[in-house]
Amino acid sequence: MESVDGASLAGARWGYTGSMRRVLSPCFLALACAVSALAAEAPDNAWLVWHRGAPETHAPRRIWLARADGSEARTLTAGTGRMPTWSPDGRWISYHHYEDDSGHVIHSDSSGDRKVCDGMPVFWLQHEGELVCRRGDRYERVDPDTGRRQLFLRAGDFPRFEGASVSISSVGPELRFAVGWSDRYRRRYRGNNGAFKAYHAAVLLDLEDRDRLYFVGPGCEPTISPAGSVVYHVTAEGPTKPDIVRVPIESILQPDYAEHRGELGYQTEVGLGDDDWGHTYFPRVAAGGDASWLTYAATTAEDGADQACHDHETCRYQIFAHRLSSGPRQKIQLTNNRDTNNWPHLFVAAPWDP
């Protein structure tokens, strides 16, 4: 059977062309529903958002939403957008609006779509229900209901990043720690938990003592778990890199962590070869009532290639779910189409109901 975009169906694929929306199967979560025993373990009451578009440079992306059982798959926004993220309570989905380079929020039924900030929305504050947007080195917290904005922090507030770049990507629930990635360690650098050299490094920041800087690992895209106790990030080392690793924050704070992190709980969460969808990026822990799930996007070696395609714009990324601590090779394939699919986020609970 063929989909509207020419992709063959295996009991679990659906297609999209232009502005057409057509659900071709109620079961899109796995390549074929019977293939993976883990498919039966996928959360029942869950909703997935992600952005999708043609694998071309600067091609428009659209925000998609679907139930975890594959039903009600549809484009969420009328225009283009990327980087959708659920609010902690499921009332809002934030996304980056292409046309005016701004942060928007929208309800899961496509109502309430509006601009709330300039620049890029980067994360939600867990307990406050506010969205944090970045423009330049300024990070502003925004109330999605009233539109009220206030300065949250500046990258320049952290003296150790003088002459270096930093991109803050997540903040813990008590507003004590933040994570991001930086080129500070490009030349061997000593922070508050030891010395290391890495082209890009995931880092932990202390928001109560902004002169303190902690190395997490070589790589990028770190995120703090909703409970605030664990950091996940994409690692740039290891035989199957890039993989997704996890480490407790209490370990990161140890003074000798940088040199001995393998002995302090720095472990592979998702680790697969390039021939098995192992080129992994965009890890995020599910919001809502069940934070035991991680979603990410990955590519695989195709058409006889020795390595998987890397570029986030032009490669055919597909989306996967992984139950945390289930083993580094366990995965559920959520999409299988000819497009690039990025920035997935799962909400496990009933979202906003008008």
What local confidence, expressed as pLDDT, does residue 242 receive? Answer: 97
Q: Which two tokens stand for residue 251?
A: 């370990």
Q: CA 27 to CA 43: how far, in whole Å?
A: 14
pLDDT at residue number 23 = 34
- Indicate whether 125 belongs to any domain: no
Structural domain contains residue 320: yes
Instruction: State both tokens at 238.
Output: 């290891």
- Structural domain includes residue 197: no
Burial class (CB in 10 A: 0-12, 13-18, 19+), 27: middle
pLDDT in tens, 89-128: 999 999 999 888 999 999 999 999 999 999 999 999 998 9
In a domain, 353, yes or no: yes
Say which residues have a Cβ less than 8 Å from residue 39's Cβ, sequence separation at least 6.
29, 30, 33, 332
Distance of CA 149 to the CA centre of its chain: 24
Query: Does a structural domain hold residue 38?
Result: yes
Please indicate, yes or no, if residue 329 is contained in any of the structural domains.
yes
- 62 part of a folded domain: yes
Residue 144 near residue 175, CB atoms below 8 Å? no
pLDDT in tens, the chain (354 residues): 222 222 322 223 333 222 223 333 333 443 333 233 334 456 778 999 999 999 998 888 999 999 877 678 899 998 899 999 999 999 999 999 988 899 999 999 999 999 999 999 999 999 899 999 999 999 999 999 999 999 999 999 999 999 999 999 999 999 999 999 999 999 999 999 999 999 999 999 999 999 999 999 999 999 999 999 999 999 999 999 999 999 999 999 999 999 999 999 999 999 999 999 999 999 999 999 899 999 999 999 988 888 999 999 999 999 999 999 999 999 998 888 999 999 999 999 988 877
The pTM (predicted TM-score) of the whole model is 0.89
What's the CA gap between 300 and 281, in Å, rounded? Answer: 12
* Rounded Cα–Cα distance for residues 231 and 249 (Å): 7
Identify whether the C-beta of residue 70 lies closer than 8 Å to the C-beta of residue 25: yes
| pLDDT of 41 | 57
Number of domains forming the structure of the chain:
1
The CB-side HSE value for 239 (13 A sphere, CA atoms) comes to: 3
Q: Is residue 25 part of a domain?
A: yes
Q: What is the reported pLDDT for 319?
A: 94
Determine the structural domain holding residue 26 and report its residue range.
Answer: 1-75+278-354
